[in-house]
Amino acid sequence: MRRNFEIEVQWRAFPLHPETPEEGLPMKEIYAARIIDMPKAMARLEKAAEGLGLPLGKRKKTYNSRRAQELCKWAETQGKGGEFHDAVFRAYFADGKNIAKPGVLKGLVKAVGLPEKEAEEVLKKRTFQEAVDSDWDLAYQLGISSVPTFVLDDEAVVGAQHYEVLEQFLLEKGIKRKEAR
């Protein structure tokens, strides 16, 4: 979208299963209380991810993303927010890595070229805890209950959507296309 439209993307942290312990929880346990046919739901998700060209592995556990979110906020201040977010996304959704583990996060920091010692200090001192708390509060205020949710002005598009859906959303909101070069 950024290549074709005059927009600036601002990532917001979201409390996706914040009660999850560092060692993670089996996916079956997370969804046990819900009446969901997991094989069917996963098949739909896999088909949607494939259609969108998104990497999606067959992870068995979900992990707490709080520390990763705090590092994402820090990475934004270093000019590497998008790169770090993409690295975390791939590690979690495609590779099934435990993004609550400091060692995993350190590897992602290194992979995108961020200073490792500084990242360790950010995690140790919880420097970006308030920034993440603020994003979580905003999500509650806006009534956001799932990810991804794309918000522009006072309207939202919820869920992983095809490019055309997001394109139409932007056009309806008066966002201009970039001029061809």
Q: Which tokens belong to 30?
A: 């997370």
How confident is the prediction along the chain (181 residues), in pLDDT tens digits per residue? Answer: 778 888 888 889 998 889 999 999 887 777 777 766 777 777 777 777 777 677 777 778 889 999 999 999 999 999 999 999 999 999 998 899 999 999 999 999 999 999 999 999 999 999 999 999 999 999 999 889 888 889 998 888 988 788 899 999 999 999 989 887 6
pLDDT for 29 equals 78
pLDDT for 181 equals 63
pLDDT for 52 equals 67
Domain 25-133, CATH class in plain words: alpha beta
pLDDT for 48 equals 72
The number of C-alpha atoms within 13 Å of 64 and in the hemisphere containing its C-beta is 13
pTM of the predicted model over 0.75:
yes
Sequence-distant (≥ 6) Cβ neighbours of residue 160 within 8 angstroms: 48, 49, 52, 54, 148
Q: Report d(CA 135, CA 130) in Å as an integer.
A: 9
Domain boundaries, the chain: 25-133
Work out the angle at residue 144's Cα, subtended by the Cα atoms of residues 86 and 11, and round it to the nearest 5 degrees.
Answer: 25
The number of C-alpha atoms within 13 Å of 73 and in the hemisphere containing its C-beta is 21
